[in-house]
Every structure is written in C-alpha cells, then in structure tokens.
C-alpha cells in the first residue's frame, strides 16, 4: 500500500509500504477514508525534533473497519470509525478518570503512520468510536478534525475551565488554536480574544466565535489582553503553540486564580517557578485525551451543530503529500487534508 514516509528534513515521500496486519488480538485494520497533516508533524519535518528516519508519518484518521482481532468485541468490520493519536484501553483507572492519553496501556498511533491507505489501530475497542452510520462525504473533514485538532482544542478549553460569563484568550492561530476558539464558543464563553496576525486565520477565528483579535505577541500582546479585561487578564487562556514565548504569553495573560490550558507540545520550555507561584494561575494540559470527548464531538458534528472541518483550507490526494507538507511549512495552508 502507499504511505507517507519522512526521510530527512523537508523530505517526505509517498512510498510503497507493507500493508498492515493484525498483530495483537485487540487490533483492528482500517481503510482510511481521509487523513491529514498535523502542526506537530512539522517539528520532525523541519528537523527541529529528532526522529529516526525513515519514519512513517501521520496520527490522524477516520475510516472503515476492514478486519478485527479475535478479542475485539464492540468494533466490527464495515463501521466508520474515528480514533486519536494514542490508542487506549478505555478501562484502566486513568482512562476512567478521563485521561485516556495517559492510559497505562497506551500506544502511539504516530509510530504506525496513518498518512497511508490502511492502518493497524491497537486496542480497537478502547480507541475507536463508530459513527451512527457511514457518513455523507461532506461530513468527513469535520469528523477527521475530531481525531486530533478539534479534540485537542476542546481539551485546551476544558483544561482552561472555559465557561459561561468568562473571557477567554487563545494563544496560537493554527488549527488547534482556531478550534480552541470554536470550543470556547460552544462552552459558553462570553468573550473570546484570538491572538493572530494572519488575516485568513483571523477571519476563521471570527467565524468560529472570536469577539476580539489581538495581533501583538509577547509583552505587548499581554498588555493588549489586560487592556481588554480591566487590567486583570483573561479568566481562561488556551495555549496552542508550545514555545517558551507562547507559554509565558499565556501565563501572563491570565488573571490571578484563572486557568491556562496548554496543548501545544512543549519544545524547550522552562517555566520560572517564582513567577508562576506569584501569578496565582492554574496550569493544566498535555497530550489531549481526545477519546474522552469523541462521543460528544461526533454527536455535535453529526447533527451539524459545529463545522470544525473548515480548518482544512487545502485538500490534496495522498499522492501529493509532499506538497501538503510544503504548504503548511510555508504557512500557505492552515491544515492539509489528504484523500487516500
């Protein structure tokens, strides 16, 4: 089968790879209906995050179940399913507390690589959620967004304790940040400040529910958020970048007693203890437990309450995966969908 493989910095190729096989009795094999490129794929693509190459790429997926292992009980061939980047048993104590991305048996789907025609998904019963039926094609982008970026933005909003009457700031205007705006709107935020200096992203943020745009970054951006909040800072701040600058911008934009929900994968971040201590903010985040939110997100998408698929502003054939990476690397695209 065909699948994307990273060979080195900025060198992604579509290769002929071995087709997936059932390895564990709890596995499922899915045929991808759609897959996509993640902002986090750009870290190894740019050579900033070291990976052993050649590396199969991709961890976002929706598709039709083709085959299941003999221990799989609830997932069946023919179902349309969505899973996320960590496979999880969904039965351990950590899963049951809502942290499936820290499941005691978790497995990284990224190591398998879902930018491909087919993929093996471990722990199928715990990981995959079936839609009510095979979806109409126009719903596929939104369902694919639920696999990671929507679930991650949603977790950022929940971790930031977004709720009715609150002012929310969002640091980062990639797909996750934009869907953090959508989540904040859905969770009842009164005011949503999107921090973005790219006009197309600002437009999408406004469409998703942002009430204010702040173009400035760093201390100037913080001062702008404070000026919009009686000098106090936002109640809730969603951090969706993962750098030192973005984390400090998030912490400093939050009022005492407020909450930072951070979902940008941390790269070379060191939080100064003394400043954090005196900031009085709550800090919570990490790899999103997308599985916690999938049933609700599928329901919202199925009933066309939310349309997170709008973050895909470029759709290509899987054959064009290299161009998909280039477009995101050069910020010509927010997020690239790939049709296998």
Rounded CA separation 179/210 (Å): 11
Tell which one of 281, 294, 321, 333 touches its own copies (CB under 8 A): 281
Of these, 48, 53, 134, 271, which contacts its own copies (CB under 8 A)? 271
What is the DSSP code (8-state) at residue 116?
B
Our measurement of the distance from residue 188's CA atom to the centroid of its chain's CA atoms, rounded to an integer in Å, reads 21
Binding letters toward its own copies, positions 28-47, x by CB under 8 A? --------------------
Pairing type for strands 282-285 and 254-262 reads parallel
**Binding of its own copies by 276 (CB under 8 A):** yes
Least distance from its own copies to the Cβ atom of residue 257, Å: 4
Name which position in 137, 164, 165, 273 contacts its own copies (CB under 8 A): 273
CA dihedral 108→114→200→215, nearest 10 degrees, is 20
Helix (H, G, I), strand (E, B) or coil at 256: strand
CB atoms within 10 A of CB 32: 24
**Four-residue CA torsion sign, 324, 326, 329, 331:** negative
Contact segment (CB under 8 A) with its own copies among 89-97, 182-190, 219-227, 329-337 equals 89-97
Binding positions for its own copies, 150-209, rule CB under 8 A: none
| Residue in 136, 274, 303, 330 binding its own copies, rule: CB under 8 A | 274
Q: Are 105 and 89 in contact (CB under 8 A)?
A: yes
Could you tell me the end-to-end alpha-carbon distance of the chain, in angstroms, rounded to an integer?
10
Query: Is residue 97 a contact point for its own copies (CB under 8 A)?
Result: yes
Based on the shown chain and the rule CB under 8 A, indicate whether residue 102 belongs to the binding site for its own copies.
yes
The answer to whether 256 contacts its own copies (rule: CB under 8 A) is yes
| CA 336 distance to own-chain centroid | 13
Does 285 participate in binding its own copies (rule CB under 8 A)?
yes
Question: Binding of its own copies at residue 244 (CB under 8 A)?
Answer: yes
- Return residues touching its own copies (CB under 8 A): 93-94, 97-99, 101-102, 104, 230-232, 242, 244, 247, 255-257, 262, 265-274, 276-287
């Amino acid at each position: 089968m065909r699948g994307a493989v990273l060979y080195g910095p900025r060198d992604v190729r579509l290769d002929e790879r071995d087709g997936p096989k059932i390895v564990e009795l709890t596995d499922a094999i899915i045929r991808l209906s759609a897959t996509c490129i993640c902002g986090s794929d750009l870290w190894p693509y740019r050579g900033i995050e070291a990976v052993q190459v050649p590396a199969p790429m991709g961890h976002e997926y929706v598709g039709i179940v083709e085959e299941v292992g003999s221990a799989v009980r609830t997932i069946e061939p023919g179902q349309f399913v969505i899973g996320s980047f960590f496979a999880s048993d969904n039965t351990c104590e950590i899963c049951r507390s809502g942290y499936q991305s820290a499941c005691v048996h978790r497995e990284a789907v990224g190591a398998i690589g879902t930018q491909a025609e087919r993929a093996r998904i471990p722990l199928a019963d715990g990981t995959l959620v079936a839609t009510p039926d095979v979806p109409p094609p126009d719903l596929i982008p939104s369902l694919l967004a639920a696999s990671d970026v929507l679930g991650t933005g949603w977790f950022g909003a929940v971790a930031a304790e977004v709720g009715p009457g609150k002012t929310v700031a969002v640091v980062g205007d990639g797909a996750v940040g934009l869907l953090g705006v959508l989540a904040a709107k859905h969770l009842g935020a009164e005011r949503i400040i999107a921090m973005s200096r790219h006009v197309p992203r600002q437009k999408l943020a406004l469409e998703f529910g942002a009430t204010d745009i702040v173009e400035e970054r760093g201390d100037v951006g913080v001062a702008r958020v404070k000026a919009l909040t009686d000098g106090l800072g936002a109640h809730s701040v969603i951090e969706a970048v993962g750098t030192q600058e973005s984390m400090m911008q998030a912490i400093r934009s939050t009022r005492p007693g407020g909450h930072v929900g951070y979902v940008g994968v941390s790269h070379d971040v060191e939080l100064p203890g003394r400043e954090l201590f005196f900031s009085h903010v709550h800090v919570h985040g990490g790899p999103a437990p997308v599985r916690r939110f999938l049933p609700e997100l599928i329901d919202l998408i199925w009933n066309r309450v939310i349309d997170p698929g709008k973050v895909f502003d470029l759709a290509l054939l899987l054959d064009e995966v290299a161009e998909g990476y280039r477009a995101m690397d050069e910020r010509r695209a927010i997020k690239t969908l790939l049709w296998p």
